[in-house]
Amino acid sequence: MLDNAHALVIGIASYQHVTALPATVLQDAQAIHDALVDSAVCGYATENVRLLLDGQATRDAIRGALADLAGRCDADATFFCYVSSHGGQIPGGPYAGEYLLPVDAAYDSDESVAQTAISGAEFTAALRAIPARKVVVAFDCCHAGGIGQPKDAAALAFKAGLPDSYYDALKAGRGRVILASSRSDELSWVLPGAANSLFTTHLLSGLRGGIASDDGLIRIFDLFEYLQPKVTADQPVQHPVFKAEVEENFPVALYLGGQKGIISKDEQGFRYDAYVSYVDKEPDAGWVWSTLAPRLEAAGLRVAVSGDVDEPGVARVVNIERGIRQAKRTVVALSDNYLADHVADFENVLGQTMGIEEGSYRLLPVKIGTLDPDKLPLRLRMLTLLDLTHPYRAEREFNRLVQALQGPLPRR
């Protein structure tokens, strides 16, 4: 079992006074609970995992569960919290702020929401009272179903969706990580015929062994690195969010009950064939996720895509330094947008620097949009550029890219 690990899992679909959510919400929470307590999967002790579904997830019950965890966890504990429910914010006025809606939340006015929901300030304080230094809170909120029409619409300005500022406040403190299913202006999707929401589907897949491990543990950076690209590849308008204040890539669960030596690497020791460096702006983002990444994966290539991690320090650890170092080549998705982005520039400089240190050609620049060649830095201009948008040669250029990624790492 995973020593000193605790969890709280909340799923609310059948609200007493608010529009119901799909039954998928309850299936999500139950599946997360079952994966956590399975000794052959995550390895949490059953008595250390609390599950609150629908009528059990009242405001008082959630408060009580958090207070109980504050008393049971110590500084060395791991605490995993999963919440699938309605969440939103009151943008202005005396009750302005963010709120999670328990099953018994009232929805008549701003005042009733404030009096019956769990405010961002209260939830933040409850998390800070838990002394564990390995804390993960995963939100699968902002569901496509919406909250519905209040009894007194003129008296209520409640807006569905939790803003970045809410997650920023929650992550404050040592060893705190916040995962959210989508950005504040996006929805959390359930694909047709799926048993679980898209975010939770891939979260479960990662927890159940989808993440490679060489020490028998699933670590937090690896979890997001696995989860984020898969969600956005399946639904390009949903981008999971990662917020953190961490000093280490701490474990959150066992890997298949603690199995070791499972990490998948090729003969050269690389976990990925390609790390795709791009700028997360349109039209670049849409093209990378809908065309480039699927095309490379269809060719059997192992692809890591630079994610949209909000904290610069964490981004370099999760999506840049680790991703580039573990990938054979870095595919630089060039456009005018890319050349204007400082984080993107850092990625390709880091990849090229690693190549120089190793005596190899790490970078593979490709053109994916409008590009002023005069703005290309000399270090990129000296490399052969593949034009994946050329009206006549795009297909041939794609094939050349795949062949380059399938081959060994070129040496200088």
Residue 165's pLDDT is 84
On the question of pLDDT at 155 being above 60, the answer is: no
Residue 84's pLDDT is 95
Residue 249's pLDDT is 85
Grouping H, G, I as helix, E, B as strand and the rest as coil, residue 395 is helix
Instruction: Return the amino acid letter for 225.
Output: E
Give just the sign of the alpha carbon dihedral 149, 155, 161, 162. Answer: negative
Share of the chain above pLDDT 90, in %: 50
Cβ atoms < 10 Å from Cβ of 127: 23
Residue 307's pLDDT is 55
Cβ atoms < 10 Å from Cβ of 87: 25
Residue 317's pLDDT band, with cuts at 50, 70 and 90, is very low
Residue 27's pLDDT is 97
Residue 311's pLDDT is 36
On the question of pLDDT at 147 being above 60, the answer is: no
Residue 319's pLDDT is 53
* Span 318-332, average pLDDT: 78
* CATH superfamily for domain 272-406: Toll/interleukin-1 receptor homology (TIR) domain (3.40.50.10140)
Residue 352's pLDDT is 84
Grouping H, G, I as helix, E, B as strand and the rest as coil, residue 262 is coil
Mean pLDDT of all residues belonging to the chain: 86
Residue 157's pLDDT is 56
Q: What is the pLDDT of residues 220-254, one digit of tens each?
A: 988 988 888 889 889 989 999 988 888 788 999 99
Q: Which overall architecture, per CATH, does domain 5-254 show?
A: 3-Layer(aba) Sandwich (3.40)
Q: What is the pLDDT of residues 30-43, one digit of tens each?
A: 999 999 999 999 99
* Span 307-312, average pLDDT: 38
Longest dimension (CA), the chain: 70
219 vs 249: CA distance, rounded Å: 6
Residue 262's pLDDT is 56
Residue 211's pLDDT band, with cuts at 50, 70 and 90, is confident
Q: How far is CA 228 from CA 44, 195, 254, 291, 334, in A?
A: 24, 19, 20, 17, 22
Q: Which residues contact 392 (CB under 8 A, 6 or more apart)?
A: none
Q: Which part of the chain has CATH 3.40.50.10140?
A: 272-406
Q: Which part of the chain has CATH 3.40.50.1460?
A: 5-254
pLDDT-wise least confident of 6-15, 174-183, 195-204, 337-346: 337-346
On the question of pLDDT at 365 being above 80, the answer is: yes
On the question of pLDDT at 263 being above 60, the answer is: no
Highest mean pLDDT among 126-130, 155-159, 258-262 belongs to: 126-130
Residue 132's pLDDT band, with cuts at 50, 70 and 90, is very high
403 vs 172: CA distance, rounded Å: 45
Residue 170's pLDDT band, with cuts at 50, 70 and 90, is confident
Q: How far is CA 108 from CA 36, 89, 161, 334, in A?
A: 37, 15, 18, 51
Question: What is the distance in angstroms between the CA of the first residue and the CA of the last residue of the chain?
Answer: 48
Residue 312's pLDDT is 32
If one compares 62 and 244, the residue with the highest pLDDT of the two is: 62
Q: How far is CA 397 from CA 178, 386, 392, in A?
A: 40, 6, 10
pTM, two decimal places: 0.70
* Span 74-90, average pLDDT: 94
Contacts 24+ apart (CB under 8 A), 61-65: 61/102, 62/10, 62/102, 62/118, 63/118, 63/122, 63/126, 65/8
Residue 46's pLDDT is 97
